[in-house]
Amino acid sequence: MATDEDTKLISYIADKNKTYEAEIKFGSQTDTYDLEGEIINFSTNKIEKKDLIKIIEWLEAQDSQIPPIYSAKKIDGIRSYELARKKIKVDLKPQKIKVENVKIEKFNFDEQTLKIVLSVSNGTFIRSLANDLAIAFNTYGHLISLKRIIISDFNISLLNNKEFVKIENAPAFAISTIFLAAKEIKKLKNGFSIKTFLDLKDNEEYLIADEENKANILGIVYFKDNEIKVKKLFGNKLTKY
């Protein structure tokens, strides 16, 4: 998992295709499509080893899905899960998705569990895939574990490394980076705003880095009233300033 400070950068990576390790339990369906919900259906039908190739093919053929009703999707300004909890009928529209690079990690016939690794487009609900997959193979199922591994080609599991594996070099951040002198970074660290003549957009957010070490992202700022102001700084990277 990413450390708290490095996680702040992940949301700024553009085109966030994600790779997950997911585990599905077949034989029962929950109202949330995962372990958090109540079991609403059972099936004695079994997934067999001979089904695994077809499961990969089915997953990689998916190009749309209906999000789970217990989700943050909004209907007329109200989150879907709020309506679902009140037993109000929720009608969510299908959304486009992409699923690729599906690999079977482990299949246990006796326990009817399947662990897979798959890459999906941003906004894909893995628990919906688990639910729909089970139904497609004439049974029920729900997601029992989910671990995000990669975002936009950046392996977040590597953040356990002491070197932080240069998350700042992940391809294509969604916002621009500006490079500051050490004395300017020190002022920001000490709680001050700094005047600048850089051509920046008002109220726009930017990543900041030391002009002497452009690969090392130190925080997130915004520009307002001709000043650079702090939004988030990464304290563990500012000890030298």
pLDDT band at 170 (very low <50, low <70, confident <90, very high): very low
Per-residue model confidence (pLDDT) at position 163:
39
Per-residue model confidence (pLDDT) at position 6:
53
Domains of the chain are: 17-151 (3.30.2350.10), 164-237 (2.30.130.10)
pLDDT band at 76 (very low <50, low <70, confident <90, very high): confident
* Region of poorest pLDDT, from 125-134, 191-200, 231-240: 231-240
Q: What is the DSSP string of 15-78?
A: S--EEEEEEEEESEEETTSBTTS-EEEE------GGGHHHHHHHHHT--EEPPPSSSS-EETTE
23, 148, 167, 190, 233 from 4: Cα distances, Å? 25, 15, 13, 21, 12
Per-residue model confidence (pLDDT) at position 136:
98
Which of 216 and 89 is assigned the larger pLDDT?
Answer: 89
Q: Cα 192 to chain center, whole Å? A: 33
What pTM does this model have? 0.63
